Amino acid sequence: MQSKLPQVATNIFSVMSGLAKDYQAINLSQGFPDFPIADELIDYVHQAMRDGHNQYAPMTGMPMLREILAEKINKLYGRAIHPDEEITITPGGTYSIYTSLATILYPGDEVIVLEPAYDSYIANIESMQAQAVCVPLRFPDFSVDWEVVQQAITVKTKAIVINTPHNPCGYVWSKEDMVQLQHMLRDTSIYIISDEVYEHITLDGRKHESVLAYPELFERSFVTFSFGKVFHTTGWKMGYCVAPKKCMLEFRKMHQFLSFSCNTPMQVALANYLQDETAYLSLPDFFQRKRDLFLDLISALPFTIYNPTPGSYFQLAGFKAIQDVSDKEFAIWMTKEIGVATIPVSAFYRNGKDDQLIRFCFAKKEETLKAAAEKMKRLML
Ligand code: GLN
C-alpha cells in the first residue's frame, strides 16, 4: 500500500513505553502520571453513570462542562468565551490539534512549526498534504528567536503552531513573546494553533500566557487544552478546543464526522469536579515539589542540566559525559541496562537533530522518582 506518511514510524512514546514494559524498566518516558487520581473524581464518574449519563453527549460537549470552562477561562485569562459557540469538548488534546489543522489546511499550505515539537504536529500537517516549515528554538533554553520565525513567513503560510509551556523543553512563553507574535501576525491572515495543554504546570513562580488573554491573537486562534494533563487522567483521552465563533463553526463541521462527540459520564464528572478550583490551582506547587525533588535526586549524576525546566512535567538532560552516542542509542541502552526509560529529544525534530539530550517525565510518585535515581547511580561508576 502507498503510505501517506512514508517518513513516519510508530511514535516514540509507544516505542519507549513498550520497551520499558519489555525490560521492566521504570518508565519516565511517555508523559503520564503514575499516581492515583482524586477519589472524588472517580465518585463523580460512578455517579454520572448511575444517573444515566451513558448515551451520546451533544456533538459540542455537555453544556454544564462548557459553561464551567467558560467561567474558568474568564477568571484566569480575563476573556468572555461563549460556552455554546466557542468551546468544543474533544477526545483528547492531540485530537483537538489534528482537527484544528484539518479545519484550515489545504494542500500546499505552509505551517510554521517551532522545533523541537510534539511529534503529532508535523505528521498531521503532512497527512493533509500541507508543508511544515520548521524553525529551530534557541539552544539550550529553547526560547523563540523571533527574527528567524519572521523570516519563515511566506505568502503560503496558513498557520503557526505554538506550544507553551513547551513539550519537551518546558520553555514558558513570556509576555514579550506574546507581544512579538501579535506584532508579527498583525495585517496577515495567519492562524494560530495554540497547544496549551500544560497551562497549569508553570514553575518557579512563572505565569502561563494564554492566547486567550490577547484579543488580537485569539481572533485567529484554535486553542487546545487537556483534562488528562490537568487532572492526571491521560487515559480518559479528554480535552477541549476553544476558538472564536467563526473558526469553531468550521471546526465542528470536521469534528462531527470524526468522533462526533466524546465520553458522556466523564464530561459530567469533570463539570462537577471543576467547581473546585483548588484541583488545578494547586498544580504549580505540586509539580514544583516533584521537579525539585527529581533535580535533587539526580544532582550527583553525570547529566548536564542546562536549566531546571520552567514548565510542563518534563526535564531535559544532556548525557554526553556518560556516553558519546546518539540520543536514541543512549535512551535504549538506559532502558535495557540501567532500567530507566526516557525519550530521546531527536524524536521531536523532523530531521532527527541530535543534541544528545533525553527527556525525563517527573509526573511520578516520590517513590518512583527515588527508585529511578537509585538505578541511575550506576551511571556514576
Ligand atoms: N504528550 C505525551 C508526551 O509527550 C504523550 C502523548 C502520546 O503518547 N501520544 O509524552
Q: How far apart are CA 381 and CA 369, in angstroms?
A: 20
C-alpha cell at 173: 512563553
Q: Where do the structural domains in the chain lie, given as residue ranges?
A: 12-30+282-380, 55-278
pLDDT value, residue 276:
95
Residue 107 pLDDT > 80: yes
Which among 269, 271, 260 is positioned nearest to 58, based on CA atoms?
260
pLDDT value, residue 111:
99
Q: What is the mean pLDDT of residues 5-26?
A: 95
Q: What is the mean pLDDT of residues 168-176?
A: 98
C-alpha cell at 146: 523571533
Number of Cβ within a 10 Å radius of residue 140 = 15
Summarised one tens digit per residue, pLDDT across range 285-326 is 999 999 999 999 999 999 999 999 999 999 999 999 999 999
30 Cα to the center of ligand 1, angstroms: 5
pLDDT value, residue 286:
98
Task: List residues near ligand 1 (CB under 6 A).
Answer: 13, 30-31, 94, 167
Summarised one tens digit per residue, pLDDT across range 223-247 is 999 999 999 999 999 999 999 999 9
Q: What is the mean pLDDT of residues 39-61?
A: 98
187 Cα to the center of ligand 1, angstroms: 35
**End-to-end Cα separation, the chain, in angstroms:** 49
Q: How far apart are CA 239 and CA 227, in angstroms?
A: 5
| Best residue for ligand 1 mutational test, from 234, 313, 360 (most atoms within 8 Å of Cβ) | 234
pLDDT value, residue 247:
98
Show Cβ contacts of residue 44 under 8 Å, excluding neighbours closer than 6 positions: 268, 269, 270, 272, 273
291 Cα to the center of ligand 1, angstroms: 18
| Residue 207: alpha-carbon gap to chain centroid | 17
CATH class of 55-278: alpha beta
pLDDT value, residue 74:
98
| Best residue for ligand 1 mutational test, from 8, 10, 11, 13 (most atoms within 8 Å of Cβ) | 13
Which among 369, 347, 376 is positioned nearest to 14, based on CA atoms?
347
**Could you tell me the pTM of the whole model?**
0.97
Q: How far apart are CA 73 and CA 69, in angstroms?
A: 6
Residue 55 pLDDT > 80: yes
Residue 381 pLDDT > 90: no
Which among 313, 299, 310, 325 is positioned nearest to 380, based on CA atoms?
299
Yes or no: say if 360 and 317 are a contact pair by the CB < 8 Å rule: yes
Q: How far apart are CA 253 and CA 299, in angstroms?
A: 51
Show Cβ contacts of residue 273 under 8 Å, excluding neighbours closer than 6 positions: 38, 40, 41, 44, 231, 279
| Best residue for ligand 1 mutational test, from 8, 94, 233 (most atoms within 8 Å of Cβ) | 94
Residue nearest ligand 1's atom 4 by CA:
31
Domain 12-30+282-380, CATH homologous superfamily name and number = Aspartate Aminotransferase, domain 1 (3.90.1150.10)
pLDDT value, residue 158:
98
pLDDT value, residue 71:
98
Q: In the 8-state DSSP scheme, what is residue 220?
A: T
Residue 337 pLDDT > 80: yes
**Position 267, amino acid:** Q
